[in-house]
Amino acid sequence: MASILRLPRDFYRQDTLTLARALIGLHLVHRVGGVRRIGRIVETEAYLGPDDRAAHSSRGRTARTAVMFGPPGHAYVYLIYGMWHCLNVVSGDEGVPHAVLLRALAPVSGLADRTSGPGLLCRAMGIDRRANGLDLTGGTLWIERPHAPQPVRIGRSTRIGIDYAGEWARRPWRFFDRDSPEVSGRRARGKT
Which residues, numbered 96-115, are part of the site for DNA (CB under 7 A)? 99, 101, 114
By the rule CB under 7 A, 70 interacts with DNA: no
> What is each CA distance from 25 to 14, 33, 132, 179, 180, in whole angstroms?
17, 25, 23, 11, 10
By the rule CB under 7 A, 148 interacts with DNA: no
By the rule CB under 7 A, 171 interacts with DNA: no
By the rule CB under 7 A, 57 interacts with DNA: yes
CA distance 91 to 98: 5
Q: Which residue, 57 or 137, is less far from DNA as judged by CB?
A: 57
Q: What are phi and psi of 47, to 5 degrees?
A: -125, 115
Residues 112-131, one symbol each (x = binds DNA by CB under 7 A, - = not), give --x-xxxxxx----------
* CB 132, min distance to DNA, A: 8
- Identify whether the C-beta of residue 42 lies closer than 8 Å to the C-beta of residue 177: yes
By the rule CB under 7 A, 169 interacts with DNA: no
* CB 168, min distance to DNA, A: 11
Nearest to 159 by CA among 127, 187, 190, 122: 187
Q: Which residue, 145 or 156, is less far from DNA as judged by CB?
A: 156
Q: Which residue, 124 or 152, is less far from DNA as judged by CB?
A: 124
Q: Which residue, 116 or 137, is less far from DNA as judged by CB?
A: 116
Task: Give bridge partners of residue 38 from the DSSP assignment.
Answer: 29, 109
- Rama region for 76: left / alpha / beta (φ>0; ψ in -120 to 50; rest): beta
By the rule CB under 7 A, 91 interacts with DNA: no
Residues 6+ apart with CB under 8 A from 52: 58, 165, 168, 171
**Which residues bind to DNA, rule: CB under 7 A?**
45, 47, 49, 54-57, 59-60, 62-65, 68, 76, 78-84, 86, 88, 99, 101, 114, 116-121, 159-162, 164, 184
